[in-house]
């Protein structure tokens, strides 16, 4: 079926139920983080890479490991350290003897998996971090002039500690831009801690059920691409991203560099994915507003004065949402017939 053909209500209802079962499995891994889990699943359906930031010990790594188990995907974990080299991630040519001749044979690195957990990614040097650039954008790796395609699907789920902690390096802006979302993992309250104490043992690995396979995931990501994006919503996305640049809005007066066109594409894809989770055949203004922080917070670079004043990228995005409002006479579709027409 063509990707331009809107899905019917029954297909959307089934898809929403399957996604909810995946979210339920992940909520059993990380207690009290329902919003975070929904955003992670949204990023997955949009075929995007996700960066999770938070203090050590909050469950970032376990959440990504649980995602790999629930999907049954081939996964690899890379522990980023200051001495990690680019070839340790992408792979290296190894000299081998073949038929009496010695030749270099490429040995794939841990990037050659469906889901790569880049654990504590900002503890490696910028040179090593940048080894992910081609893989995350083009889903391929080039070593010694030879290009090697990565498995399909391919996701990078990275965790990082706040930059204020010892032994961390800031991620290059070009790499940050390749993450669909940057999600903040916050500590749970006393009730969440009680659930953890009652249901976990120190060192215990949560038992995660296998919810769906790679084929089902591929069907869901294809369905996301068939979701209708109304012109009014696309126009809202364009104005939101444009307003992140200096001089384009009052909210951006402390911004040094705004978001790229990739941010607009990311916001559109994520809005469609959220529509699937909600069982809707079109993306809405609400979808865009709900995802704006996750998409834009790592793409808005502030000037020095903002840091002195304690202004954060989230503050800027919040101000943008208040300043840039949906303004269009074009109505959103309410029925499948209106979408198809």
- Backbone phi, psi, residue 208, to 5°: -105, 125
Edge-first strand listing for the sheet containing 179-184: 75-79, 115-119, 155-160, 49-53, 179-184
CB 248 within 8 A of CB 264: no
CB 316 within 8 A of CB 300: yes
Show me where the domains of the chain are located. 227-341
**3-class SS of residue 266:** helix
Q: Residues 198-229: pLDDT tens digits?
A: 777 766 677 788 899 889 999 999 999 999 99
Q: Hey, what are 33's tokens?
A: 């983080």
- Backbone phi, psi, residue 123, to 5°: -95, -5
DSSP 32-61: T-HHHHHHHHHHHHTT-EEEEE--TTSSHH
Q: Residues 222-279: pLDDT tens digits?
A: 999 999 999 999 999 999 999 999 999 999 999 999 999 999 999 999 999 999 999 9
pTM, two decimals, is 0.88
Instruction: Provide the β-strand partners of residue 108.
Output: 91
pLDDT of residue 267: 97
Q: Residues 27-41: pLDDT tens digits?
A: 888 888 899 999 999
Tell me the pLDDT band of 341, cut-offs 50, 70 and 90. Answer: very low
Q: Hey, what are 219's tokens?
A: 């069907």
Between CA 69 and CA 1 the distance in angstroms is 30
CATH 2.40.440.10 fits 227-341, yes or no: no
């Amino acid at each position: 079926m063509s990707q331009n053909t809107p899905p019917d209500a029954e297909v959307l209802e089934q898809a929403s139920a399957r996604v909810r079962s995946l979210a339920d499995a992940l909520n059993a891994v990380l207690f009290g983080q329902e919003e975070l889990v929904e955003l992670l699943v949204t990023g997955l359906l949009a075929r995007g890479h996700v960066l999770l930031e938070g203090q050590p010990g909050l469950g970032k790594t376990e959440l990504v490991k649980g995602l790999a188990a629930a999907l049954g995907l081939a996964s690899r974990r890379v522990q980023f350290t200051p001495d990690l080299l680019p070839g340790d991630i992408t792979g290296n040519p190894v000299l081998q003897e073949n038929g009496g001749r010695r030749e270099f044979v490429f040995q794939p690195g841990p990037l050659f998996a469906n889901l790569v957990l880049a654990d504590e990614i900002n503890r490696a040097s910028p040179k090593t971090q940048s080894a992910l650039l081609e893989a995350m954008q083009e889903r391929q790796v080039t070593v010694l002039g030879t290009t090697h395609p990565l498995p399909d699907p391919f996701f990078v789920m990275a965790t990082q500690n706040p930059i204020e902690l010892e032994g961390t390096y800031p991620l290059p802006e070009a790499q940050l831009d390749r993450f669909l979302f940057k999600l903040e993992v916050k500590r749970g309250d006393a009730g969440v801690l009680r659930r953890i104490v009652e249901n976990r043992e120190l060192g215990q690995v949560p038992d995660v059920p296998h919810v769906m396979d790679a084929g089902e995931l591929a069907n869901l990501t294809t369905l996301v691409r068939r979701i209708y994006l109304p012109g009014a919503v696309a126009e809202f996305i364009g104005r939101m991203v444009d307003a992140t640049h200096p001089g384009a809005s009052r909210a951006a007066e402390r911004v040094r560099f705004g978001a790229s066109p990739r941010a607009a594409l990311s916001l559109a894809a994520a809005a469609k994915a959220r529509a699937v989770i909600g069982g809707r055949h079109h993306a809405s203004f609400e979808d865009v507003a709900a995802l704006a922080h996750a998409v834009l917070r790592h793409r808005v670079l502030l000037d020095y004065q903002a840091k002195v004043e304690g202004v954060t990228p989230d503050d800027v995005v919040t101000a943008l949402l208040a300043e840039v409002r949906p303004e269009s006479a074009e109505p959103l579709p309410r029925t499948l017939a209106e979408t198809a027409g």
